[in-house]
Amino acid sequence: MNVLSVVGNRPQFIKSAPLSVALRAAGIEEVVLHTGQHYDRELSQVFFDELSLGEPAYRLEARTRDVEAMVPGITAALEETRPDWTLVYGDTNSTLAGARAATAAGVPVAHVEAGLRSGDLSMPEEHNRIEVDRIAALLLCPDERSAATLRAEGVQGRIEVVGDVMADACLAFAPLARKRSTILQRLDLAPGGYVVATLHRDANVVQPRLGRLVEGLGRIEEPVVFPAHPRTAAAVRSEGLTLGHVLLSLPLSYLDLAALASQARVIVTDSGGLQKEAYWYGVPCVTARPSTEWLDTVELGANVLVDDDPDLLVEAVREARMPDDLPQLYGDGHASERVAAALLASLATS
């Protein structure tokens, strides 16, 4: 069996690392295509370097989030490799482009992280999730909630609950990050004595939301480290926003960010992936969105939604504490092996 894996941004590079290992162990040949949706070195190549990912067989160098601009290159790769499956991850435009190209080429789609819903249709990612789940022949869910969502929507593909491959990566790489990274020493930070913030969602990098969120970050009493997506940093500069004591930095490498986030007192973010990572790190999360696809973290009190309200943001950070006796969420570190097994099982049923 062979698969074409379509990746294009930071979370997908991380998720693909343990999955690539599991695919090889199962005897599945993987060909990796990098769309180039993320092309800044600290958002792209550094992950291949640090996580020892294999060099992608195809690099589209798209340098765009435009779905239709990516489809022709993915289609060409599919026609050349003729894989048994096209593997797509999460909810990005690269994911949607991969699913559309595979459908046109007659190659079945396997969707890792299927069934997630925030309920917020103003988010492009929500539309991507819904469309890809309708396309996919194999829906690889992180939890039973996601599987129930798909059954309620009446999707046609086969639903498998496998856990979250990001948990596999987090469990494997976080201890390595804390051992290797010197980010806390470089920034003169003490474990548990600072806040990490990330913002990159389309709605949050334009006014007035960006200004309200930056205001909130500036009112946090502790040191705040803000590794900014290039688009976010450009918006902060162009709008002339005042950051005060907040340290706005370039994007960090994966190991540096993992070391920084896993030892923070609180994480403020609009990233779906970082909300989960915060839970696995045992760090309370404050989410700068009106909704989340990771509802369990909110229901358990490990995550608080503050939308773009600076007062709520400051209060949530001040009061943030991880509850005691939290259950294991989204897998046990073996999701990648279950994904490989589900792909192989398709041979017996085809």
CA distance 267 to 195: 6
Catalytic residue among 34, 38, 111, 200: 200
C-beta of residue 287 within 8 angstroms of C-beta of residue 204: no
Cβ count near 176 (within 10 Å): 14
CA distance 71 to 105: 11
- Kindly list the distances between the CA atom of residue 224 and the CA atoms of 167, 270, 285, in Å, as whole numbers in the listed order: 26, 16, 14
Map residue 84 onto helix, strand or coil.
Answer: coil
Structure tokens at 285: 């999360």
Residue found under tokens 């930056």: 214
Say whether 334 is catalytic: no
- Among residues 293, 288, 286, the alpha carbon closest in space to that of 329 is found at 293
Q: Is the dihedral of CA 183, 184, 189, 194 positive or negative?
A: positive
Going edge to edge, which strands form the sheet with 303-305? 247-249, 224-227, 195-198, 266-269, 285-287, 303-305
State the catalytic residues: 200
